[in-house]
Amino acid sequence: MKFRMLALVFGLMGPQVAAADLAVEIRDSGGQPVPNAVVSFAPKFTLTQPVPASASAEMRQEGTMFSPFVLPVQVGTTVSFPNFDEFRHQVYSFSKPKRFELRLYGQDESKTIHFENSGVVALGCNIHDNMLAYIYVSEHPIVAKTGEDGKVLVQSLEPGEYDIHIWHPDLASGADPILKSVSVSADGRTVSGQINLRSIRSIQQPPAEDDYN
C-alpha cells in the first residue's frame, strides 16, 4: 500500500499572557494544503478554566450532498440533519460509536441525533449512494478542523502541555493518532511533525445529472 506523508507545522502566535493562540497548517508531501483534518488537544493538566462545549451542531443535506464533509463535535453534542433538497433522504450510520437510521423525510424537515460516545461516525444515505460524510466525536475539550487552505487557528489555549491528536478520513491504517506533545506557552517556538495518509482519498462526489432521474 502506498502512503503519502503530510507535514504539520504549528506556530504559537502573538503576545500571550493567560492564553495562547495556536496556528496549525497541514500540507501534503507536494506542499499542497490538506482540508478536513481534525485537530484536537488533550491537556496533560487540569484546566483552570474549562472550555465550554457546544451543545449542538448541524449536518446539512443539500444538492444531494452532505455538508460539511467532516464535522468535528464533542461527546454530548446533538447534531441536527436538516434536508434542504426537494426530495427525501434517509440518513444512516453503521459505525460503532453511533448506529442509527433516520427514516425518509422531506424538504425543510430536520431530525436530530445525540452523540454520547467518542469515535468516527461515517454517514450515508439509503437513497443516494454518492452521499458520504464523517462526524468525528471527540472526547477532548478542544477540537477544530482545517479549512480549504489546510489551516486552522485554535484560540485562547490555556498554557500547559497538550497531546495533539490528528484525524483525517484517509489516515493510514495503524497510524498513531497522537502526533506529539506540545508545550503551549509564551515563548513563541514552533514544532512540527508528520502523519501518514492513504494515497487513495475518500471523497464525496456530486451526483451525475441522470443518477436519480
Instruction: Give tens-digit pLDDT for 79-101.
Output: 999 999 999 999 999 999 999 99
Please, what is the average pLDDT of the chain? 84
Report the range of poorest mean pLDDT among 14-18, 55-59, 111-115, 164-168: 14-18
Instruction: Find the helix or strand (DSSP H, E) in which 115 lies.
Output: strand 110-115
Q: Which domains does the chain have, with CATH numbers?
A: 3-48+141-198 (2.60.40), 56-138 (2.60.40.420)
76 Cβ neighbours under 8 A, 6+ residues apart: 53, 55, 114, 115, 116
**Nearest alpha carbon to residue 191 among 155, 161, 148:** 161
Whole-number Å distance between alpha carbons of 59 and 23:
26
23-56 pLDDT, tens digit each: 888 777 677 777 899 999 999 999 887 777 778 9
Whole-number Å distance between alpha carbons of 62 and 56:
19
The model carries a pTM of 0.88
112-136 pLDDT, tens digit each: 999 999 999 999 999 999 999 999 9
